[in-house]
Amino acid sequence: MFTTSKKERPLTEQDREWHLPIKRRAEDPHASAMAIRMNSTYLELVDGYHTNRGLMSIIGVLAFVLCAWFFYQLFSVAIFDHYMDQNWNRHDERRMLLAIGVCSLILLATILGSVTFLRKIGEWFGYTHYPIRLNRRTRMVYVFRGDGTVLKASWDDVYFALRVNMQVAGVRTLGICGLVLKDSKTVEEMFVFGYASSSREYCLRHWEFIRRYMEEGPRAVLNAPGLGLYLPIADKRETLYQGWIELVSNDAWNPVFKWLMFPFHVAFFIGRLVNRVTSKVPRWPADVEAACRIEPGDPYVRDSSLNPPGYR
């Protein structure tokens, strides 16, 4: 669920085969609606899980609801069917209290386990999103890690490549990763850009958007498709409306599928609300902000303030 992975591993043949050189032009650029803000100094992109954030939270919400229902049933039986029954002789009171105690411990363990799991994967008590910032003036890449620290790497030293994000029923979803190398054969840390697709062409187009911004500047990508709206999450939480739009946007292309998914979207939206309440807004450290200072009068400053009303 996080943008980075510190697991050390060897550089694979697939990494070498799918390598993305920063000096080689690929397809026509496509922003893929991943941009938070852009200017002449830096481009900031969102993590890939942002669109579906809340999907895993619903597990925790269901755990809480089910546990609350079981607690109610346990104490309802104990109070109304036993202690308020004048004919109860209390011969089985000890066994009943023991059963209630054991069941309560199991339910509490379930709740604590759900909270721990969701915190570990970044759904609860983490951050609302995990941005990546690319500074073209200093040629540095900044990646907001799951623990709140920041990965800092030179754009020229990062080894970029396509990767398989996941594979289900024979269908591969590809993504773009940056590999920070310990040496020529060893990956020390990996970070993954937000965009993912089963289409290699679409991934290459998004990579070209990133590459061309860093190599040629904002003017070269200003009219790229997918850059019409900027995500309204820079230094703030999304509004409820924005969160709903983000969830349903993937299915908006098909009216039938959109309505079939509606009950699931409602459930995921509840999970997204819990994520919104329990998570902090990411803040870049002072040294990163100082290195990314925007020049006064920059004509290429773009962010959600340019979006239509209601999505700013």
CA–CA gap between residue 188 and residue 220 (Å, rounded): 32
The amino acid sitting at 208 is E
User: 127-144, pLDDT tens digit by residue?
Assistant: 999 999 999 999 999 999
Q: What's the DSSP call for residue 237?
A: P
Q: For the whole model, what pTM was predicted?
A: 0.85
3-state helix, strand, coil in the chain (%, to 5): 40, 20, 40
pLDDT at residue number 194: 87
Spatial CA neighbour of 240 closest among 283, 212, 274, 279: 274
> Which residue in the block uniquely carries the two structure tokens 């709206």?
229
pLDDT beyond 80 at 109: yes
pLDDT band at 225 (very low <50, low <70, confident <90, very high): very high
pLDDT at residue number 82: 67
The ranges assigned to domains in the chain are 4-56+124-305, 57-120
User: 140-189, pLDDT tens digit by residue?
Assistant: 999 999 888 999 999 999 999 999 988 888 788 899 999 999 998 999 99
Provide the pairing of β-strand 42-45 with 132-135: antiparallel
> What Rg do the C-alpha atoms of the chain give, in angstroms?
24
Measure Cα distances from 215 to 24, 134, 151, 192 in Å.
10, 11, 21, 20
Over the chain, what is the mean pLDDT? 88
pLDDT at residue number 216: 96
Mean per-residue pLDDT, 72-89: 73
pLDDT: is 9 or 100 the higher one? 9
pLDDT at residue number 231: 93
pLDDT at residue number 2: 61
Mean per-residue pLDDT, 11-24: 95
Percent of the chain at pLDDT above 90? 49
pLDDT at residue number 220: 96
pLDDT beyond 90 at 45: yes
Percent of the chain at pLDDT above 70? 95
pLDDT beyond 80 at 305: yes
CA–CA gap between residue 59 and residue 266 (Å, rounded): 14
Q: Which of 18-27, 73-82, 102-111, 235-244 has the lowest mean pLDDT?
A: 73-82
CA–CA gap between residue 40 and residue 199 (Å, rounded): 30
